[in-house]
């Protein structure tokens, strides 16, 4: 009898680990439905939500939202503070995705990191989209070969995703092109708000497919064209800030690489050196952990410069854009 009881207890514990959002005190069926519709469909996502967002979405008072989040944090075990040891533990789970070019991989410490945002910025034709397509192909290959053995999510804002290029790059790596294409999920974003919504919904797709790479190409083009003029700058930056944090949250929760592209604008204040500065100002700059500036050079060559890394020295690598994809430049 005693033995049986023990088994029951174990089952209870296992069950507790599979809590749904309805198990949170204060979340009834109607609230749960609203939360789910907005992409908050597990405890972890509620644990890291802001009270205001949660209140806006579900129509409950902000005070009640605070309580729900506190309960979710307890279950999901997310404290506000982590010890250095805990962070080190999480860092140990970081995976690296190869760009396909050894020199560029070395520049960024072995590849693009999960749990971080890596931004590639440069002028038109500097190779940003080519690199994104290459990363998408590489992500599908096994971890031992520099991939993530994962599916890929691409938010395409400029309609530049080309399956034909994916097929070329997949063939060059001896991959089955059809299988590779099946693992790449592309969503076209028609405007800035749509783009934000797609990033919020990324978690839903991650429940169905093992997504370890989320690409936004381009991060800023819609924001740049829709929010013009001084009067709309504050709103633009606020939306971009929210979007960047949604992306980072996805990267952290799903241990995924976040790769984004950004354009440059000529900065008239710079008279010496390279006058090109990335769009999005401090908001993008502070949230992206790695920033890589791409410059055109001769004959398909591009110079990639690492800027602002938290622990790597600044430096440059040369890559070449070829029909087969991204290779070392020399
Ligand atoms: P961005 O996204 O930065 O505007 P792209 O990634 O679209 O730029 O880069 C375009 C460049 O990529 C072209 O100018 C060319 O050098 C290279 N490229 C594109 N397709 C191919 C291909 N099939 N073979 C070789 N190089 C290519
Ligand atoms: Mg492009």
Query: What's the gap between Cα 244 and its chain centre?
Result: 8
Residue 24, domain extent: 13-76
Do residues 69 and 193 share a domain?
Answer: no
Q: How confident is the model at residue 3 (pLDDT cuts 50, 70, 90)?
A: very low
**228 domain-assigned:** yes
Q: Is the pLDDT of residue 57 over 70?
A: yes
pLDDT value of residue 163: 98
Pair 283, 245: CB distance under 8 Å: no
**82 domain-assigned:** no
Q: Which residue, by CA, sits nearest to atom 5 of ligand 1? A: 127
Do residues 58 and 95 share a domain?
Answer: no
Cβ atoms within 10 Å, residue 109 = 14
Closest by Cα among 261, 251, 222, 240 to 120: 261
Do residues 113 and 23 share a domain?
Answer: no
Closest by Cα among 94, 149, 43 to 311: 94
Q: Which ligand is in closest contact with the Cα of 166?
A: 1
Q: Name the helix (H) or strand (E) containing 295.
A: strand 290-296
Do residues 37 and 138 share a domain?
Answer: no
Do residues 62 and 199 share a domain?
Answer: no
Relative to the CA of 322, which ligand 1 atom is closest?
25
Domain count, the chain: 2
Report phi then psi at 266, rounded to 5.
Answer: -65, 125
Final residue before a domain boundary, out of 35, 52, 76: 76
CA of 156 to the centre of ligand 2 (A): 9
Q: Which ligand is in closest contact with the Cα of 164?
A: 1
Question: Quick check: CB of 262 below 6 Å from ligand 1?
Answer: no
Question: Quick check: CB of 81 below 6 Å from ligand 1?
Answer: no
Pair 103, 318: CB distance under 8 Å: yes
Q: Is the pLDDT of residue 273 over 60?
A: no
Relative to the CA of 132, which ligand 1 atom is closest?
6
Question: Quick check: CB of 295 below 6 Å from ligand 1?
Answer: no
Lowest mean pLDDT among 105-109, 149-153, 232-236: 232-236
Which DSSP state fits 144? G
Do residues 34 and 172 share a domain?
Answer: no
Do residues 64 and 118 share a domain?
Answer: no
Give the tokens for residue 249: 């949250």
**83 domain-assigned:** no
Q: Name the helix (H) or strand (E) containing 154.
A: strand 151-156
Give the Å distances, CA to CA, from 94 to 105, 253, 257. 15, 12, 9
Do residues 188 and 227 share a domain?
Answer: yes
Pair 198, 187: CB distance under 8 Å: yes
Closest by Cα among 24, 30, 69, 28 to 46: 69
Closest by Cα among 220, 105, 219, 206 to 152: 206
Mutate which of 125, 161, 220, 323 for ligand 1? The one with the most ligand atoms within 8 Å of its CB, which is 125
Question: Quick check: CB of 129 below 6 Å from ligand 1?
Answer: yes
Q: Is the pLDDT of residue 80 over 80?
A: no
For residue 60, is the peptide bond before it cis, meaning its omega torsion is within 30 degrees of 0? no
Final residue before a domain boundary, out of 46, 76, 106: 76
Q: How confident is the model at residue 11 (pLDDT cuts 50, 70, 90)?
A: very low
Relative to the CA of 217, which ligand 1 atom is closest?
2
pLDDT in tens, 185-231: 999 999 999 999 999 999 999 999 999 999 999 999 999 999 988 78
pLDDT value of residue 77: 63
Question: Quick check: CB of 304 below 6 Å from ligand 1?
Answer: no
Residue 42: which CATH number?
Answer: 1.10.150.20
Residue 108: which CATH number?
Answer: 3.40.50.300
């Amino acid at each position: 009898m005693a033995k049986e009881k023990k088994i029951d207890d174990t089952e209870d514990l296992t069950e507790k680990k599979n809590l749904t959002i309805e198990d949170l005190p204060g979340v009834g069926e109607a609230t749960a439905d609203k939360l789910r519709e907005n992409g908050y469909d597990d405890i972890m996502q509620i644990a890291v939500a802001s009270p205001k967002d949660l209140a806006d979405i579900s129509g409950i008072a902000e005070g009640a939202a605070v309580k729900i989040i506190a309960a979710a944090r307890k279950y999901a075990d997310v404290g506000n503070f982590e010890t250095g040891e805990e962070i080190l533990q999480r860092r140990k789970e970081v995976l690296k995705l190869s760009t396909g070019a050894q020199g560029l991989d070395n520049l960024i410490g072995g590849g693009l990191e999960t749990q971080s945002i890596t931004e590639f910025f440069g002028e038109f034709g500097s190779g940003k989209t080519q690199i994104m397509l290459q990363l998408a192909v590489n992500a599908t290959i096994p971890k031992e070969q520099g991939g993530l053995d994962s599916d890929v999510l691409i938010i395409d804002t400029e309609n530049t995703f080309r399956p034909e290029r994916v097929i070329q790059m997949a063939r060059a790596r001896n991959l089955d092109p059809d299988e590779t294409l099946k693992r790449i999920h592309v969503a076209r974003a028609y405007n800035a708000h749509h783009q934000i919504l797609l990033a919020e919904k990324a978690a839903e797709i991650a429940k169905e497919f093992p997504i370890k790479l989320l690409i936004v190409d381009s991060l800023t083009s819609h924001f740049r064209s829709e929010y013009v003029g001084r009067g709309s700058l504050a709103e633009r930056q606020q939306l971009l800030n929210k979007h960047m944090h949604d992306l980072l949250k996805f990267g952290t929760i799903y241990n995924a690489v976040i790769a984004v592209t950004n354009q440059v604008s000529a900065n008239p204040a710079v008279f010496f050196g390279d006058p090109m500065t990335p769009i999005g100002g401090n908001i993008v700059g502070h949230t992206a952990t790695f920033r890589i500036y791409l410059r055109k050079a001769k004959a398909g060559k591009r110079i990639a410069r690492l800027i602002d890394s938290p622990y790597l020295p600044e430096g440059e690598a040369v890559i070449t854009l070829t029909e087969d994809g991204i290779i070392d430049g020399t």
